Structure 1
Amino acid sequence: MKLALFQLPGDAIARPGLLTDAGVIDANAIVPAAHSPQARMEGWIDAFEALRPALQSLLDHGSALPLEQVRLLPPLPRPGKMLNCIANYWEHAQRDVRPLNMFLKNPDAVIGPGDTIELPEFTVPWAFMHEAELAVVIKGPAKRVTQKNWRNAVFGYTCLIDVTARESGRATWPNKPIASWLGKSFDTFAPLGPCIATADEIPEPNDLHVQFWNNGELRHNYNTDDMEHRVPAIVEFASTIMTLKTGDVLSCGTNHEGLGFLQDGEIVEISIQGIGCMKLNVSDPLKRSWERGVYMGVDSTHPDAVRRYRPTHPA
């Protein structure tokens, strides 16, 4: 199933729904109420197995509202934690595995389908870039999860765009360096959605096609099989450091092939096989501009074809 949050026209209430090819089916009568949209989604995740028969009946017999008649919201409007992998993909001629490493991204940066990525109003970062990523949604509490039982901690998957401010590789503030997580944590820098695809919808998260378009130009175009450290290792690593709770998000990093700039007036779209697609707008009050297209610098080469750089026998 694909779990979503949405709003009806003229209604400020975030309603739970099942996303289908025909639209969204309202599940408001089935999913227990809560004090916030995030809490309601967390409660839905925790109670999912008990609710599954009623949800399946709704999916089989309910009528869907066309997507043009509703507003989809981020399925997790304010995750408790967002941990993102740094890089984590085999790229170019690389043949030595790098250590697994992660950073915390600001949960308040989350926005959803149809929303606007707003570039911040200061001039120090020389560029703002997109990183299309597979994100894991946790069912907790989960602590010291092993790679053998990693599925016990995973509820499902969603799409995430890790928007990044960079200067000479990383963002800086006047006279002081900004750590990676700050350059990635401005408001609106964590588009998430359009839904949570439950784990049974994604039997193998390390064999999914990830794509990203900017104004219709294909940029990211890769397979999650190229991860240096695969989803079980990411879950094990993160849960060794901290207790993961229901609704937390682990983002798996990006393949930097096809990296490019974001700038005012653009429309961007992310799509991950088995999960879905979402479009967003980009706004820059300063109307800055950079070269358009794929950035042919140290990170990117060519996005036109899906390549697998993963060694046959990685270290």
Structure 2
Amino acid sequence: MKLVLFDDAKTGLLRDGRVVDLSPVLGRLAEQPAQWRMEAVIEAFDEYRPQFEQLAESEQGVPSDSVQAQAPLPRPRHLLCAFSNYLEREGAQRRNLDFFYKGATSIVGTGTTIEVPDLEGALAYQPEPEIAYVIGKQARHLSEEDAMDHVFGYVNFIDVSCRGLQARRTTFLSKGIDDWAPMGPALVTKDEIADPQDVRVRLWLNDELQQDYSTSAMAYPIAEQIVWLSQYITLMPGDVIACGTHHGGLCNINDGDRVDVEVDGLERLSIAVRSHAPRLTERWRPPGVRDTGPATA
């Protein structure tokens, strides 16, 4: 099932290119703030699901291109992103697992024009396409056997990043600026993704394919990530955790560009770019990653 927030943050079901408003099922819950409402749906999903399906069978809905999709989880308690979580060359060794936070005001939905400021020391501004997973129930001190039971679903995610500022002690300017965490358009329940460790992730810049990789190259699979995180923090329903990107094929974004990201099974996330910075065209790549062409699945 594909859940969306649309127009004035109504909750909907996306099916076959049409959106059905789920407000009649949600009743007074439909009047609550969007994040709180989505968390409530996630927590009680086994109860809501048959009602959603019944409504979708009886209601035609509206074409998805006639509504404005919002980020499906606009204000999660935790928005965490994995650092350097792909094995990008033969013989590569896993680094220590680590994460960084992005703020809730970084979150935007598909169809948004993101703002790129002119940051002193910037070498490149780059969009990192990623699969992100959404927590379905409270988690603390989990075992690997139990970890995936705490995943509710998945979303497309873009970690917009500024290169050249990594020497700073935090990721505030290089990762944490407003608009720099596009996600969506849909929150896709986990039953629709057979194996999240073997899906294709692609990014297009102005209709040209730049990145094309498989999540099978993750250094730390999702279950291991959840176990590690749950040793230190309590994960809550609606939390969003992005798995990192494969750096092969990373491209620069400049004023007027359009970016499309698609993880298999998760629809397509599209953003436009408005930049106040000079055009930066020389591709940045992390040390040791020789190939700057598309990573191949």
TM-score band w.r.t. shorter chain = over 0.9
Matched, 1:214 2:209: no
Cα distance, 1:84 vs structure 2: 0.8
Question: After the TM superposition, which of the residue ranges 295-304 and 238-247 deviates more from structure 2?
Answer: 295-304
The answer to whether the aligner puts 1:260 opposite 2:251 as a matched pair is yes
The equivalent residue for 2:6 is: 6
The question of whether the paired residues in 2 share the 8 Å contact of 1:138 and 1:249 is answered with yes
Match of 2:90 among 84, 88, 93: 93
Distance 1:190 1:90, change over 3 A: same
2:38 matched residue in structure 1: 41
CA distance in 1 between counterparts of 2:122 and 2:295 reads: 30
Once the 2 structures are TM-superposed, how far is the Cα of residue 280 of structure 1 from its aligned partner? Answer: 0.5
The alignment status of 1:197 with 2:193, answered yes or no, reads: no
Aligned-partner residue type, residue 21 of structure 1: D
How far does residue 98 in structure 1 lie from its aligned partner after superposition?
Answer: 1.6
Does 2:286 correspond to 1:291?
no
Amino-acid identity (%):
33
TM-score, normalised to structure 1, is 0.88
Tell me the residue number matched to 2:220.
229
Moved more, 204-213 or 26-35: 26-35
CA shift digits 1:28-48 (9 cap, x unpaired): 111223531111111111111
Q: TM-score, normalised by structure 2?
A: 0.93
Name 1:116's counterpart in structure 2. Answer: 113
Specify the code of the residue in structure 1 equivalent to 2:42. I
- State the secondary structure of the residue aligned to 1:245: coil
Deviation at 1:300, TM superposition (A): 5.8
2:256 maps to amino acid = G
1:4 deviates by 0.3
CA RMSD of aligned residues (A): 1.8
Q: What are the ranges of 5 or more consecutive residues in structure 1 without an aligned counterpart? A: 8-12, 308-315
**Alignment gaps of 5+ in structure 2:** none
1:236 counterpart letter in structure 2: V
Q: Which amino acid aligns with 1:306?
A: T
Shift of 1:302: 4.8
| Paired residue total | 294
**Local SS of the residue matching 2:23:** coil
Per the alignment, in what secondary structure is the counterpart of residue 93 of structure 2?
coil
Deviation at 1:128, TM superposition (A): 1.0
What does 1:275-314 correspond to in 2, within 5 Å? 275-286=266-277, 288-291=278-281, 295=284, 298=287, 299=289, 301-304=291-294, 306-307=296-297
Matched position secondary structure for 1:80: coil
Per the TM alignment, residue 250 of structure 1 is displaced from its structure 2 partner at its CA by: 0.9
Q: Is the counterpart of residue 162 in structure 1 residue 189 in structure 2?
A: no
* Match for residue 261 of structure 2 among 270, 277, 296: 270
Aligned twin of 1:310 = none
Q: Aligned pair 1:129/2:126, yes or no?
A: yes
Of 91-100 and 72-81, deviating more is 91-100
Distance in 2 (CA, whole Å) between partners of 1:87 and 1:49 is 35
